[in-house]
Structure 1
Amino acid sequence: MSDANPIQNRIDTHVIATYGRFPLTITHGNGSYVFTEDGRQLLDLGAGIATACLGHAHPELAAALAEQAKKITHISNLYYTEPQSLLAEKLVHHAGGHGKIFFCNSGAEANEGLYKLARLHGLTKGRYEIITAENSFHGRTLAGIAATGQNKVKQGFNPPVEGFRHVPFNDLEAMRAAITEKTAAILIEGVQGEGGIYPATPEYLIGLRKLCTKKNILLMMDSVQCGFFRTGNFQSWQTILKNSKTHEFKPDAFSLAKSLGAGLPMGAFWVNENLQDVLGPGSHGTTFGGTPLVSAHALKALEIIERDDLAKNAISIGNHFTHQIQNLIRTYPSVLKEVRGLGMMIGIELTKSIPAFSASNRPASVQIVELLHDAGLLTIPAGASIFRLLPPLNLSQTEANEGLDIIERVIKKLAS
């Protein structure tokens, strides 16, 4: 707690300390930059954890929000509203033109809908188990931490919600061996985000689709962080399979959030036409899902992404980041180990023996993020030794180069 900073002091005093906050007080943003109360400008390559997909204070988003706020902000899902109808139509179009969408408020809530979908679909056959991957992350609700393949999020919350099993990621044979007569669904991330930016392989995705079809179980994809054009396509599997001869891959259901709301709280899940009637009246719901205000904001963001071809920008700028970081790895092998990712979802892994970090028991990922903050760059840790780049989709080449320059300055100092 800092008495010298009234804002930080107020939050530390009155807000439950479930977050490991960095000592930065952000007052406002503009495009790809944020500004602190002490007048510093930082390039934001975290985008609120892959959420502010068009950066900050985007004038068209602000105008859309203001216009809708003058009409109606919330009325509940007991009634029909135009913004929700238009957004749903566009999302279903991007999902292939069929199936239906359910709107909610977060990724964890979207995934909860998938768990309920799987259980209800498997009810008559006694199927309720869902298999997920080790190192996965699916949210912090009780079912979410049960689904998550990381023990650290489960500590203190026993007994776990029943019905979840975990197997190694990208291991098709392990998944095959885990299926039983109780298995209702498989749920994976196209790119493991919180786990450290590990993409699924094309062979794994194709194999999972064939396996689920053969076993008559659901294939569900958690696209909360890796979806909505972050990898250069609407969905991560489209990016992963772009060079594959298999063009018909499609899950039975997927979740969305983060970038979907373009900085406002919104989640959703899509189901195919065979599942669109599984969840009927009373089986699921949420008060705030798809409100006119947030739907209008998300709709405008989607229109801008389409108009400005930001999927292409995500690939171009993402490839530039990856290529330049590979050069840094060759130049500073004592500090940088590996770079992974797709499009604008990039993980940079540090080596395990960085002298400057050895005196502290804090994760190296947190320490380097703090150094990057001091140098003028916002980014996000993942695990003990990885930091993530999850920039706005409209990041420019000039801004990307600025970020790379900052990263190199910090890495060079650590290597000396």
Structure 2
Amino acid sequence: MSLYERFEKSFMPNYGIPPVALARGEGSRVWDVDGNEYLDFIGGIAVSSLGHAHPALVEAVGTQVATLAHTSNLFLHEPEVLLAERLLGLLKAPGRIFLANSGTEANEAAYKLALKYGRREGRSYFVAAENGFHGRTMGALSLTGKKAIRDQFGPFPVEVRFVPYGDAAALREAVGGECIAVFLEPTQGEAGVVPPPDGYFARVREICDDTGSLMVADEIQSAIGRTGHWFAHQAEGVTPDILTLAKGLGGGLPIGACVGFGDAGTLFAKGDHGSTFGGNPVSCAAALAVLDTVDLEHVQKVAVQLRSGLEAVEHPLLKGVRGRGLWLALVLTADVAPGVQAAAARAGFLVNALQPDAVRIAPPLVVTDAEVQSFVEAVPGILAEAAV
């Protein structure tokens, strides 16, 4: 029985059967169970910041697991304190941190934090963006503007009003004095790596300030150097009231964080929220290794190379390139993204058919110039094969 058949027999069918079974990785490369080699240009959905088997990550995790692997939240340990201090230093704003295990859990914490604020202030609803994605647990799902995955699990306990992403006028109309918080991604990830218009986030900040609503920035996918900045909101010149992080923070180890700035950082009282595994010493050690190793100048350099190379590709199937940093989408002229993903795999590259007409590109932040160039050079042939 093949590994694929064993998977199908053992697991719930919510993922289908993934088309490639990976066995190992090194740097930006991975190998499947049949020995085929690929350049990983999806990076575990923007998670594998340091690629695979990076020495800094291996050493940090190995040392920590041999020292102290778990404490629960009944006890504190130095790696979690070091990580919180390091994040606040990079954020350059006073705040407090809650550590979780994943992006959806970070957003659940943000949801509860905002809800406590709203009930204290007599506010009744949230505002979020159409096609936004914040997670699949019930609180995070209630804020997710994708009907196909949301509606079948309603009704939800709190009203959420959805507005078109990037439309400041529509946002201003929706956000009134009873709005608890506005949940937004600095770039919409699962919608197809869709950046907002210039100045949009500054306008969001103004609207929230005018109405007393909290501004929540979901940077689960966009933070930790992915866009060429430690945090995407910093490039917009604004500071949210609440920030959520995960994915690239742990470099492959499960970790999430919810950051409350200013007064939002002290909304939770003792016992209001918790996580048995949140702030796990091993995950914190991994996150510290990521923060010590990511080179923003390198990210910015190879991001320019990747984008300019892809924008120079001329093919009837390629409509354009969008996104920021090492987080891009190939926008297609036809709904053949799954075919592009399959053709890329046959050519030795892993990418992600994110939308019917969009393919996500999110390589490790340590990807080399040569690896970027090999992908760029392969794209015309990949598109030609998918177009047949």
TM-score scaled by length of structure 2: 0.97
Task: Tell me if 1:377 matches 2:349.
Answer: yes
| Matched residue type, 2:272 | S
State the Cα distance separating 1:234 from its structure 2 match: 1.0
Task: Tell me if 1:117 matches 2:113.
Answer: yes
Residue of structure 2 aligned with 1:257, choices 210, 232, 246: 246
Task: Please identify, of 125-134 and 249-258, the stretch whose mean Cα deviation from structure 2 is larger.
Answer: 125-134
Find the residue that maps to 1:338 and give its secondary structure.
Answer: strand
Does the 8 Å CA contact 1:376/1:406 hold for their aligned counterparts?
no
Does the 8 Å CA contact 2:128/2:143 hold for their aligned counterparts?
yes
| Matched residue type, 2:161 | R
Task: Tell me if 1:295 matches 2:291.
Answer: no
| Matched residue type, 1:134 | E
Tell me the alpha carbon deviations over residues 44-94 of structure 1, each in whole angstroms, 9 at most, x when there is no partner. Answer: 010000001000011121111111111110011111101111111000111
Task: Tell me if 1:178 matches 2:163.
Answer: no
Report the CA distance shift for 1:161/1:315 in structure 2 as closer, same or farther (over 3 A): farther
| Matched residue type, 2:25 | G
Residue of structure 1 aligned with 2:15, choices 7, 19, 28: 19
Does the 8 Å CA contact 1:220/1:254 hold for their aligned counterparts?
yes
Find the residue that maps to 1:321 and give its secondary structure.
Answer: helix
Task: Please identify, of 144-153 and 335-344, the stretch whose mean Cα deviation from structure 2 is larger.
Answer: 144-153
Task: Tell me if 1:9 matches 2:5.
Answer: yes
Corresponding residue number in structure 2 for 1:319: 304
Distance in structure 2 (CA, Å) of the matches to 1:162 and 1:97: 30
State the Cα distance separating 1:415 from its structure 2 match: 5.3
Find the residue that maps to 1:13 and give its secondary structure.
Answer: helix
Tell me the alpha carbon deviations over residues 363-395 of structure 1, each in whole angstroms, 9 at most, x when there is no partner. Answer: 622221011111100011211110011111111
Task: Tell me if 1:284 matches 2:266.
Answer: no
Corresponding residue number in structure 2 for 1:30: 26
Task: Tell me if 1:367 matches 2:339.
Answer: yes
Does the 8 Å CA contact 1:105/1:267 hold for their aligned counterparts?
yes
Corresponding residue number in structure 1 for 2:317: 335
Does the 8 Å CA contact 1:149/1:166 hold for their aligned counterparts?
yes
Does the 8 Å CA contact 1:136/1:194 hold for their aligned counterparts?
yes
Residue of structure 2 aligned with 1:396, choices 365, 368, 381: 368
Find the residue that maps to 2:199 and give its secondary structure.
Answer: helix
Distance in structure 2 (CA, Å) of the matches to 1:58 and 1:195: 30
| Matched residue type, 1:409 | G
Distance in structure 2 (CA, Å) of the matches to 1:154 and 1:237: 26
Corresponding residue number in structure 2 for 1:80: 76
Does the 8 Å CA contact 1:142/1:161 hold for their aligned counterparts?
no
Find the residue that maps to 1:276 and give its secondary structure.
Answer: helix
Corresponding residue number in structure 2 for 1:357: none
Task: Count how many residue pairs are aligned between Structure 1 and Structure 2.
Answer: 388
Corresponding residue number in structure 2 for 1:275: 264
Distance in structure 1 (CA, Å) of the matches to 2:122 and 2:109: 19
Find the residue that maps to 2:74 and give its secondary structure.
Answer: coil
Corresponding residue number in structure 1 for 2:199: 203
Task: Please identify, of 402-411 and 253-262, the stretch whose mean Cα deviation from structure 2 is larger.
Answer: 402-411
State the Cα distance separating 1:204 from its structure 2 match: 1.1
Does the 8 Å CA contact 2:125/2:160 hold for their aligned counterparts?
yes
Find the residue that maps to 1:191 and give its secondary structure.
Answer: coil
Q: Give the 5 Å matches for 1:227-266.
A: 227-239=223-235, 241=236, 247=237, 249-266=238-255
State the Cα distance separating 1:414 from its structure 2 match: 4.3
Task: Please identify, of 39-48 and 200-209, the stretch whose mean Cα deviation from structure 2 is larger.
Answer: 200-209
| Matched residue type, 1:346 | L
**Runs of 4+ residues deviating >3 angstroms:** 412-416
Structure 2: stretches of 5+ with no match in the other structure: none
State the Cα distance separating 1:195 from its structure 2 match: 0.4
State the Cα distance separating 1:161 from its structure 2 match: 3.8
| Matched residue type, 1:98 | P
Does the 8 Å CA contact 2:177/2:213 hold for their aligned counterparts?
no
Does the 8 Å CA contact 2:244/2:259 hold for their aligned counterparts?
yes
Distance in structure 2 (CA, Å) of the matches to 1:128 and 1:393: 41
Corresponding residue number in structure 1 for 2:39: 43
| Matched residue type, 2:375 | G
Does the 8 Å CA contact 1:316/1:343 hold for their aligned counterparts?
no
Tell me the alpha carbon deviations over residues 187-206 of structure 1, each in whole angstroms, 9 at most, x when there is no partner. Answer: 10001000001112332111
Corresponding residue number in structure 2 for 1:360: none
Task: Tell me if 1:160 matches 2:149.
Answer: no
State the Cα distance separating 1:162 from its structure 2 match: 2.5
TM-score scaled by length of structure 1: 0.90
Residue of structure 2 aligned with 1:226, choices 219, 222, 227: 222
Find the residue that maps to 1:275 and give its secondary structure.
Answer: helix
Tell me the alpha carbon deviations over residues 178-218 of structure 1, each in whole angstroms, 9 at most, x when there is no partner. Answer: 12332111110001000001112332111111111111111
Task: Please identify, of 335-344 and 89-98, the stretch whose mean Cα deviation from structure 2 is larger.
Answer: 89-98
Corresponding residue number in structure 2 for 1:406: 378
Distance in structure 2 (CA, Å) of the matches to 1:228 and 1:130: 27
Task: Tell me if 1:99 matches 2:95.
Answer: yes
Find the residue that maps to 2:254 and give its secondary structure.
Answer: coil
Residue of structure 1 aligned with 2:122, choices 123, 126, 131: 126
Report the CA distance shift for 1:414/1:384 in structure 2 as closer, same or farther (over 3 A): closer
